[in-house]
Every structure is written in structure tokens, then in C-alpha cells.
Amino acid sequence: MTNFKSNYFTYKDNNLYCEKVSLLKLSEEFATPLFVYSKNFFIDRYKELNEAFSSVNHKIYFASKSNFNLSVIKTFYELGSGVDVNSAGEFYRALKAGVNPKDMLLTGVGKTDEEIRLGLEKGVMVIKAESLEEVYVINNIATELGVTAPVAIRVNPDVDAETHPYISTGLAENKFGIDSVYAYDMFVECSKLSNIELTGIDMHIGSQITKLEPFVEAVIKMAELYKKIQSAGIKLKHFDIGGGIGVLYNNESTFTPKEFSEKLTPIFMQLDAKILFEPGRFLTANGGVLLTDVLYTKTNSLGKNFVVVNSAMTELLRPSLYKSYHHIQPITKIDNENFKADVVGPVCETGDYIAKEREITMVSRGDKLAIMSAGAYGMVMSSNYNGRRRPAEILVDGSEYKVIRNRETFEHLVFDEEKHL
């Protein structure tokens, strides 16, 4: 089993550390499953992207859907980031983290009237609309409230992001945004509405994009549309390219923020617009791990090996949902041979696995493992299926660490049900 390459998760004296804190110590103090995040990874990654585009008038909006822990949101907000919220729940979380609504983008393909009203009443920076009917609804609600709604329209550029089909969002067949064929006419139509101020054009072509070409193609296409809209007398202010920057999970060939900037900055310079980014995974994925204990090992009659751990699809859904890869390595180095095994959880589903046919170090009951790249779309996609309690989350900062969410109790599982018996 090779080790995941990271400057933030490294072995010292055969034990895996997050920054300067032993993961063995954390697993013993707080038990497993346990999410552990590196605060300095978050900070460094944000600064790397921000500085890459220093020559451009821009702002980063952290996509809180990737990791909505209040302390994580607060970390990025204190660095100067805005926050992209996709629901009333994420809006509420951002408020609790101290985020000013003027630093929020309200996004989502299916906003309720209540969510639109909330955004307008609280004064979000912009509401990103994804259909003509939605803009009409926003206009009606804004009229009722006696306000002008700042609206950006998400345009689907029909570009193949060459990523997993479940996280591709920029093709004409996807549910997101307005088809680019209709976009210009829609901007003209919406500019006539009484309580709408069109502020920008937005795109988001997908997640975990590891090639620059789809971004370049989409930005060029949207830049031409932006110029055409401006020439029609509709004065837009921002150009939002969304998120989706790919990260290293296994052996992907990814691009750096510097390479990203070198390709896109010349296009941005042609636009009289503030450039907005909405990264989530890029800022958090490789800043987190999920710690787990080996419960049992077994081999079936076909010679297939199973490693049963106490983490499941209820903590990390991505492998079951996307067949995605997460590197697995021991918290304490084990001097054993490698073997091929399925690493599976305790949940009553055949699809409950962390890895299939994975070559790993031969482990035994009681060994502890770190599931890498769990800082994005881990805890946010967790569930209480099978009556499982969501794990604790720990934030490490150098040699210091703190609990940023306690493990759920059994009382959490029944919430207010008992009073209805």
C-alpha cells in the first residue's frame, strides 16, 4: 500500500499525523468513525487560488455544499471568501458562521418561494436563477416586498466537462441552467421586468474537472455571450465561472491554479466584469480524512477477501454513489504484505463499501485506517440510515485541535419523536 502524497498528512515515527497532531491520538480520544480536517490545508489552498488570479478583479465564494461545518465556513470567510449557499439550510448555516448575506450567492436549480423571499429579505449579493419561470417568480416576490432583486442567470454552455455523469452539469441534457441557445433572448426579456436587476452571467459545467480545455471552451463561449448582452444595453457586473476544479484522489493528472490562471486571465481581461469563482472540493477535499477501525476480516469460498470497518456509506457515500476512489492507508504503519480486498462497512446494503478489489496492507481486527480525501462531500452527504449516528469532526491547526462537531447521541436519532408517541 502506497501512501497518499500530502504535506498535511504525513508519517512521523510510523504514525500518521494531521499537521502536528497524531491521528492515533485523535482516534483514541474521540473514537471512530471520525472526520479530521487540516485548517492550514484550507488556508493554503484558498490563498493559492486567490493569488493565482491577483491580476484580475475577482472574488472567491466557497461552495458550502462541499463542507458546511460552521467552523469550516468561518475559516474561509475570515480569509476574505464569500459563501455560495444552495438552500435555506446552507443559508442558515452561513448566517450562524457569521457570514453577512451581502457576501452570499443564493444558488440552486429548484429554489422554493420561501428561499427566494429569505434571500431578498436578508439582502444576498445575488440570486442565481436557472429558468425563465424562476425569474418571473423572483420578480413577483420582489414586487411584493418592494425591493429590486439582484439576479444573475446561469447559462448552460453545452460543454462536456469529461467527468462522472452524475457530476456533469454543463451539457444541454443536464437539468442545470438555461440552454445557451435561449440565453440572449432570456436576458433581454428579463431586463424588462420591473423589480429585477440583472447583475451577471453564471456557468458551472461540472465537478472534479481535471482538464483545462472544457473550462477554456466554456469561458470563451460565455464571454462572447456576455459581450453580446452588454452591447444590447444590459449592464452586467459579474462573470461567474462556478467551481469544479479537479483534485487528486488517486492518479489523476490535474492542473494548478497558476495554469488555470494563465489560460483564463487573457479572456477575463477582455471583459468589464468582476470574475467570481465557486470552488468547494478544490478547497477542502484533500484537507480531510475519515478515520476508521477494522472490525473483522474474512475470506469467502471464492478466495475473495473482505475487510469490515466501522465506517460506511452513511459517513462516506461517494464510493457507493459514484464508484469514486479514496485512498486508504494505516494510521500506524504495518509491516505486512499486501493483499487484495473489498473494504466494506456494516450497513445492510451490498452497495456499502469504501473500496473494491483494492490492494492494501494486510490488516487485522483492531487496526486503524485513514480514508483520505474526505474533506469534501463526506459529512455533508452523511445519513442516519440503519440508525447510525453521524461522527464527530475535528479541526487541526498546527499542534492544536478542537472538536467542531460532537458525535451525535442516540437522543439525536429520535429528535422530537418521543413526544409524539
Q: Contact 217/168 with Cβ under 8 angstroms?
A: no
Residue 142 has pLDDT above 70, yes or no: yes
pLDDT tens column, 3-36? 788 999 999 999 999 999 999 999 999 999 999 9
* Residues involved in catalysis: 348
What average pLDDT does range 391-419 have in this prediction? 97
Confidence tier at 206 by pLDDT (50, 70, 90)? confident
| 263 and 348 inside one domain | no
Average model confidence (pLDDT) for the chain?
A: 94
218 and 307 within one domain:
no
Provide the pLDDT confidence category of residue 2 given band limits of 50, 70 and 90. Answer: low
What's the predicted TM-score (pTM) here?
0.95
Number of domains in the chain: 2
pLDDT band of 164, cuts 50, 70, 90:
very low
Give percent of the chain with pLDDT exceeding 70. Answer: 96
What CATH number does the domain containing 330 carry? 2.40.37.10
| Mean of pLDDT values over 187-210 | 93
Above 90 in pLDDT, residue 124? yes
Same domain, 131 and 266: yes
CATH at 202 = 3.20.20.10
Best CA proximity match to 202, nearest among 126, 128, 96 = 128
Q: Is the confidence at residue 174, as pLDDT, over 90?
A: no
Per-residue pLDDT averaged across 88-116, rounded?
A: 97
Cβ of 146: how many Cβ atoms within 10 Å?
8
Q: State residue 205's pLDDT score.
A: 83
Tens digit of each residue's pLDDT (9 = 90 or more) over 221-275: 999 999 999 999 999 999 999 998 999 999 888 899 999 999 999 999 999 999 9
Do 194 and 210 reside in the same domain of the chain?
yes
Give the residue numbers spanning the domain of 203.
107-279
Q: Are residues 211 and 236 in the same domain?
A: yes
Domain boundary among 229, 251, 279: 279
Tell me: do 243 and 310 sit in the same domain.
Answer: no
Clarify whether residues 112 and 258 are in a common domain: yes
Contact present, 239 and 192 (Cβ < 8 Å): no
* Segment 300-324 mean pLDDT: 96
